[in-house]
Amino acid sequence: MKRGIVIGASSGIGRALVDQLVAEDYNVVAIARRVELLEELQRIHAGRVTAIPGDVSNPESIRELLESEFQTNGPIELIVNCAGVGFLNQDLEWKPEQETIRVNVEGFAAIAGIAVARMIEHGSGIFVNISSIAALRGNAIAPAYNASKAFESN
C-alpha cells in the first residue's frame, strides 16, 4: 500500500486530493487546522485516512509533525502541500501580510525542507506544492500573496 501526506487537506484541492489518492490505493495522512473537517474525512475513508491537526502558520510544529511521521512510519511516497492563505490588502496593513508570509513562505519552507531531506535520505519520494499563477504577476492589493507564491515556485 502506498503512503501519502496531504497538508491543507480539509477543503478545496487538498480534500479532493485525499479522495483521489484513496481511490488510487494510498493510505493518506490528512493534515489541516480544521479538526471537524479532518474527522469527517477520516470517517468517510475509514481505515485509509489518518487525520492529524496541524497548523502551517507554526512552521516549527509542522516540521515536528512531519519528522514524527517519518520516524514513526518510515518512507512516504508522496507529500502534497496545499496549505496557503492570501488577503486583499490595499492599505498594506502589516498583520495580513505577516500571516501570508508566515504560512506561504515560512510554512512552505519548513514543509519542503523536511520532506525533501527525508526523501533524499530514503532515496525516493515525490514532493508537490500547489502554488498559483499569482507567482508570475504583481498585484498592488495582495503583494505578499503574489511574492509568496513566487517564492514557492522558484
For the record, the C-alpha cell of 141 comes out as: 492589493
Q: Which of 100, 129, 145, 147 is catalytic?
A: 145
Phi-psi region of 4 (alpha: psi -120 to 50; beta: other; left: phi over 0): beta
Sorted by sequence, the CB contacts under 8 Å of residue 51 that are 6+ apart come out as 30, 35, 38, 39, 41, 42
Cα 109 from Cα 45, distance rounded (Å)? 30
Q: How far apart are CA 72 and CA 75, in angstroms?
A: 9
Q: Is 26 a catalytic residue?
A: no
Closest by Cα among 25, 102, 11, 3 to 59: 102
Residues tagged active-site = 145
